[in-house]
Chains A and B, each alone.
Chain A
Amino acid sequence: MGRCKGARFTRRCIRVAVSACLTAGLCAGLPAPPAVAADCPNDPNTAGSVDGSELTYTLHTRYTAEWARAREDWNALGKVDIKPHTGTAYADVDATDVDRADIGWSGLWESHELGSDDIVLNAHFLASYSADVKRGVVTHELGHALRLGHRSSPGAVMYCNDTRTAFAPTAADISAYRAVWGS
């Protein structure tokens, strides 16, 4: 089942209250700069999108075949059941597409306190990727939803750049998964 059911009313409430502000584009206040790193270091794990031992999803993406492969690969590891969302509450994660030439990423995992987390796939890049590279992007983002951070090895699917040579979980990814979810 989806998370944050108790918070849904609040979240919906707030959306209305600030929608005019958002439309006007004038909600202020921004942070000081974070530290800078240039490469792809091993990252801490993410908060993930898993609820208990389930990760439910809704798909608003054209990359459903890649999603199915990624789901199959991660589910084969046995600890978290990734499955379609049913019912009325929010899914744990929602997948959708954008087509933007002005950004450098092909995929993005977004963590939200309220409502579904998001996996956003950028068709600007994926449209020309091979089936394997597309699968690697989707598997990578689903890995973030499973709490996995980036790995520094290009041979891991959790490597942070699409020059990765793995398109499914490899030993480093599986080890990270086991560390989080057990053997």
Chain B
Amino acid sequence: MSPRTGTIALATALVAAGGCAAAWFEVPYGSTHYHPTYAVRLDTPGLAAGWADDVFIGKVTAREGVRRTDGDRLLWTTYRVEVQSALKGKVSGSVRVAQEGGDDPLRRQRIVVGEAPALLPGRTYLLATRVAPDGWHTAPSNFLPLDLAPDKAGSDSGTDSSAAWREGVSHPVSQRDAHPSAVSRAADPAALYARARLD
């Protein structure tokens, strides 16, 4: 049992005896910025395509909620995304995408990690992601999702950005510290993709 899990177990009896959760849930959210130091750069299409398992256009249809990993140290917000077209990788269909940070109901904190804006349901984005064993495609905090105008979404023609991304995918830039992804090391990559599928 981890120390944090132990803390929760200890508190079970306290809650049963007293019950303090209701008042806590009325406390307004504060805001906190987590400060990362980055090992890879993802700020050009070539760099992002070189790092990502998948580069794709997808419509965010719902925000699912928040999840925690790594002994509660990391908090994620997950979304349902309908893949419209893939420029790189095997992503398809309806998938779960996660971003770092979100609203932590436990600490009543809005956690902001890095500079990437939160995805908005109803919007269509170009995303560069890696598949996480947790069962989602991670859009990392140093990748800025490209918000596509509704009339351009799904289109593979025309815009400067789509041309730049096709060029980036065709000529990905490798980085010294962009170590292999879980997909590239997996004996059965399809199983990792399957865990991130929602349909």
Interface residues of A (CB under 8 A from B): 9-19, 21-22, 24-38, 43, 46-47, 96, 98, 100-114, 118, 120, 122, 124-125, 128-129, 137, 140-141, 144, 149-150, 160-162
24 A–B contacts, CB within 8 A, in A order: A14-B24, A14-B106, A17-B24, A25-B67, A28-B103, A33-B120, A35-B115, A37-B115, A38-B43, A98-B74, A100-B132, A102-B140, A103-B138, A103-B141, A104-B42, A105-B114, A106-B39, A108-B34, A111-B34, A128-B179, A137-B37, A141-B37, A161-B37, A161-B38
How far is A35 from B117 in the complex, measured between Cα atoms in Å?
7
Binding site for A on B (CB under 8 A): 7-8, 10-12, 14-15, 18, 20-21, 24-25, 30, 32-43, 51, 63-68, 70-71, 73-74, 77-78, 100, 102-103, 105-118, 120, 129-132, 138, 140-144, 177, 179-182, 185
The list of the 3 closest CB pairs from A to B, nearest first, reads A33-B117, A17-B21, A12-B11
- Chain A residues near B110: list those with CB within 8 A: 31
The contact of B37 among A11, A101, A113, A140, by CB within 8 Å, is A140
Nearest CB in chain A to that of B116: its residue = A36
B-side interface mostly: mixed
The residue that B41 contacts in the complex, of A31, A108, A140, A161, with Cβ under 8 A, is A161
- For the complex, what is the distance from the CA of A30 to the CA of B106, rounded to whole Å? 14
Least Cβ distance of A89 to chain B in Å?
Answer: 13
Partner of B35, one of A25, A32, A46: A46
* B108 CB contacts on chain A under 8 angstroms: 113
Count of inter-chain pairs, beta carbons less than 8 A: 197
Contacting B65 at CB < 8 Å: which of A26, A46, A149, A161? A26
Query: Could you list 10 further interchain pairs (A-B, Cβ under 8 angstroms) beyond the known A19-B8, A31-B110, A105-B140?
Result: A22-B66, A28-B65, A32-B118, A43-B35, A100-B74, A101-B182, A102-B181, A105-B39, A141-B37, A150-B35
Tell me the bound Cα distance from A10 to B26 in angstroms. Answer: 13
In the complex, are the beta carbons of B7 and A107 less than 8 A apart?
A: no
Q: Is the CB of A103 within 8 A of B140?
A: yes
Do residues A18 and B21 form an inter-chain contact, with CB atoms below 8 A? yes
